Structure 1
Amino acid sequence: MAELAGLEDPKAREVNERHGDDHGVNLGKLRALAKRLRTQRELSQRLWETGDTAAKLLATLICRPKAFERDELDTMLRTARTPKVHDWLVNHVVKKNPHSEELRQAWFTDPDPVVASAGWALTTERVTKKPDGLDLTGLLDIIEADMKDAPDRLQWAMNHCLAQIGIDHRAHRTRAISIGEHLQVLKDYPTSPGCTSPFAPVWISEMVRRQDAESGA
């Protein structure tokens, strides 16, 4: 904890707090610390239990993802209220855990929109890597009906799913683009030069263009 405190950067904290994250540790330095520590399950647990955001982030990097029970991960997600902790827990831990599909189904319909956003993030992973068994048409129906008025973090997760369906599944691409154009979600989101807009029609078109360029299509 003392070493983490020593990595505190007021400027980084100012930027992070604008995104809802209450820590000031440079994430590159945090990853370097995790690389040095390597996997340490007990230390990871103790770091998580401090409740400190930087400590929780470090915990997700040095834990043993497959060792967690389903209910442990459910409890952890519900206490991971800052966006970055939530994101790293899902991506670095839950996605690698044998209970990920069970949790995906449970979280997807959870009444808490932050928890539901984790279910959508796991669904997006399946859209790209393991789409067999997913009802892509049904997912697009839900997105079309609910994304416009969804709370911010849930809306962002649903929009990501919409974009990946359009990018990865040609048969659904036209409809995915049409839904994005109709709903206009994130159309005016500020995007840095050289970055791709999160507005689904632009995102889909740009990623498909890159794929075609790489394949020589």
Structure 2
Amino acid sequence: MAELAALDDPRAREVNQRHGDDHGVNLGKLRALAKRLKTQQDLARELWATTDTAARLLAILLCRPKAFGRDELDAMLREARTPKVQDWFVNYVVKKGPHAEDLRRSWFTDPDPVVASAAWALTTDRVAKKPDGLDLPALLDTIEAEMKTAPDRLQWAMNHCLAQIGIEHPDHRPRALDIGERLEVLKDYPTPPNCTSPFAPAWITEMVRRAN
């Protein structure tokens, strides 16, 4: 914890706070620390228990994803309230364990939009890698009905899923583009030069262009 505190950079903290994250540790330095410490499940649990954001990010890098039980993962996600911790936890821990699909189904209908956003992140991963068994038209129905008014984190996750469906599945691409155009979610999102806009129609079009 002392080493993490020494890595805290006020300027990095200021930038992170604009995105809802409450830590100031450079992620490159955090990864270097994790590489030195290597996998340590017990230490990971202790770091997570501190509730400190930087410590939890380090815990995610040190843990063994398959060592967590299903209910333990559910509880940890509900504790992971900052965007970066939630994002890393879903991508680096839940996705790599045996409970990902069970949790995806369970979280999908959760009344907490932050928890539901994790289900959409897992769904987006399946859209790209293992779409068999997914009802893509039903997903598009839900996105069309709910994305416009969804809270920020949930809206972002649903938008990513919309874009992924459009990018990966040509049969559904016209509808995905149409939904994006009509809902206009993230249409005016400030995008740096040479970066792809998160506005779904622009995102889909650019990724398809690159693939061709």
TM bin, normalised by shorter chain, reads over 0.9
Residue 183 (str. 1) matches residue 183 (str. 2): yes
Kindly provide the amino acid, as one letter, of the partner of residue 88 in structure 2. W
The one-character-per-residue Cα deviations of 1:27-61 (angstroms, maximum 9, x if unpaired) are 01001111111110000000000010000000001
Residue 196 (structure 1) aligns with: 196
The one-character-per-residue Cα deviations of 1:120-163 (angstroms, maximum 9, x if unpaired) are 00000000000000000000000000000000000000000000
Residue 146 (structure 1) aligns with: 146
Kindly provide the amino acid, as one letter, of the partner of residue 112 in structure 1. D
The Cα shift of 1:94 comes to 0.2
Residue 45 (structure 1) aligns with: 45
State the TM-score, normalized to the length of structure 2: 1.00
Q: How many percent of aligned residue pairs carry the same amino acid?
A: 77
The Cα shift of 1:24 comes to 0.3
Kindly provide the amino acid, as one letter, of the partner of residue 124 in structure 1. T
Which secondary structure does the structure 2 equivalent of 1:96 belong to?
coil
CA distance in 2, matches of 1:33, 1:191: 31
Unaligned runs of 5+ in 1: 213-217
Residue 123 (str. 1) matches residue 123 (str. 2): yes
Task: Give the count of matched residue pairs.
Answer: 212
The Cα shift of 1:88 comes to 0.5
Which secondary structure does the structure 2 equivalent of 1:73 belong to?
helix
The one-character-per-residue Cα deviations of 1:60-107 (angstroms, maximum 9, x if unpaired) are 011000110000000000000001001000000000010000000000
Residue 90 (structure 2) aligns with: 90
Kindly provide the amino acid, as one letter, of the partner of residue 110 in structure 1. D
Kindly provide the amino acid, as one letter, of the partner of residue 16 in structure 2. N
- Runs of 4 or more, structure 1, over 2 Å off, are none
Kindly provide the amino acid, as one letter, of the partner of residue 203 in structure 2. W
State the TM-score, normalized to the length of structure 1: 0.97
CA distance in 2, matches of 1:197, 1:179: 16
Residue 106 (structure 1) aligns with: 106
CA distance in 1, matches of 2:23, 2:179: 36
Which secondary structure does the structure 1 equivalent of 2:123 belong to?
helix
